[in-house]
Amino acid sequence: MTADPNALGRYARQVVFEGVGREGQRRLGESRVVLVGCGALGTVLANMLARAGVGFLRIVDRDYVELTNLQRQVLFDEQDARDGVPKATAAIEKLKGINSDIQYEAVVADFGPENAESLIADCDLSLDGTDNLETRYVLNDACVKLGKPWVYAAAVAGYGTFMPIIPGETACLRCVFPDEPEVGSIDTCDTTGVLGPMPGIIANFAAIEALKLLMGVHDRLNRGLTWVDCWYNSTQRTPVETPAPDCLSCQQRIFEYLERPVWRRAAALCGRDAVQVRPSNTVELDLPALARRLLVVGEVRQGPQMVRLTAPPHELTIFRDGRAIIKGTAEVSVARSLYARYVGT
């Protein structure tokens, strides 16, 4: 080790840290990472990994920057929101000014069963910056199938959770959550809100696990599922360290989420500026509860069979069977995103 830490260049402060060293930095520089979702979690993950000096960073995101993102999505600014820039592109433009040594790739697309495997196959690690469980199950199935590690992360309101996953070694997401929660039953940032620092806290935890995985320091991994609640001030670790013996994904190797015809669940309605979205499983929504949650988003009207949310420029009509007609867009990806935000998964 050199006597002058500045001689180590931009990575001096992490190279002198005993857990990294020159060998760890060399490994980071050769690593290839894919980030799925570039919102509150994703911008922090991308920011930290770019500053740490990974070799290649691919960012996959289907959305555009909006004003309401700026409270917590740290790579975006007002100009990005005014211009409606795709998040993957806006993030990479910022990152190029932070670390120009990295090779970047922006993918403006829905991450789903049709492209999941090809987007992760040439990377060493996948990172979860998504905002819905369905995409996380797709990511889990693709990573387990290809034997690629990934880091699960989620945050809403004042709490969050993360878990590093190594297929064949640790539990996978489906070991821990075997079944998708019912559509409309879980909190989302759009209906429950989120404190700005919370996704940042969880993403920074996840970024540390990512660095350990990329450097091959598996004995330092924070194994199991960690919950952090910064509003009620508690931290919990669920010691799910080994796979569930009957896990459909990592033990039986049945990759349901790579086989589901997710795209067919949403279809633009011919001749109308509207898209119909169907839930992934059979549901019966609790419409009064859904209506109450949506009150913070826009104007809500409730009928016996449906709830109508008006949040210009969109209008969502959500039926008891989980189906929704989303007016104000003919884009399937926009409609699926709105559905995930307001109805859930």
Where does this chain bind Zn ion (CB under 5 A)? 172, 174-175, 243, 247, 249-250
How far apart are alpha carbons 232 and 331 in whole angstroms?
40
Q: Please answer whether residues 278 and 323 qualify as being in contact, where contact means their C-beta atoms are separated by less than 8 angstroms.
A: yes
Cα–Cα separations (whole angstroms), residue 16 to 7, 181, 205: 11, 44, 21
Give the nearer residue to Zn ion in terms of CB position, either 250 or 306.
Answer: 250
Give the nearer residue to Zn ion in terms of CB position, either 92 or 247.
Answer: 247
Give the nearer residue to Zn ion in terms of CB position, either 103 or 252.
Answer: 252
Nearest distance from residue 251's CB to Zn ion, in Å? Answer: 6
Nearest distance from residue 166's CB to Zn ion, in Å? Answer: 11
Nearest distance from residue 240's CB to Zn ion, in Å? Answer: 10
Reduced 3-state DSSP string for 153-180: EEEEECEEEEEEECCCCCCCHHHHCCCC
Q: Please answer whether residues 62 and 109 qualify as being in contact, where contact means their C-beta atoms are separated by less than 8 angstroms.
A: yes
Nearest distance from residue 146's CB to Zn ion, in Å? Answer: 14
Q: Are strands 125-128 and 234-238 parallel, antiparallel or unpaired?
A: unpaired
Nearest distance from residue 258's CB to Zn ion, in Å? Answer: 14
**CA 102 to the chain's CA centroid:** 22
Q: Please answer whether residues 306 and 318 qualify as being in contact, where contact means their C-beta atoms are separated by less than 8 angstroms.
A: yes
Give the nearer residue to Zn ion in terms of CB position, either 245 or 313.
Answer: 245
Give the nearer residue to Zn ion in terms of CB position, either 139 or 198.
Answer: 139
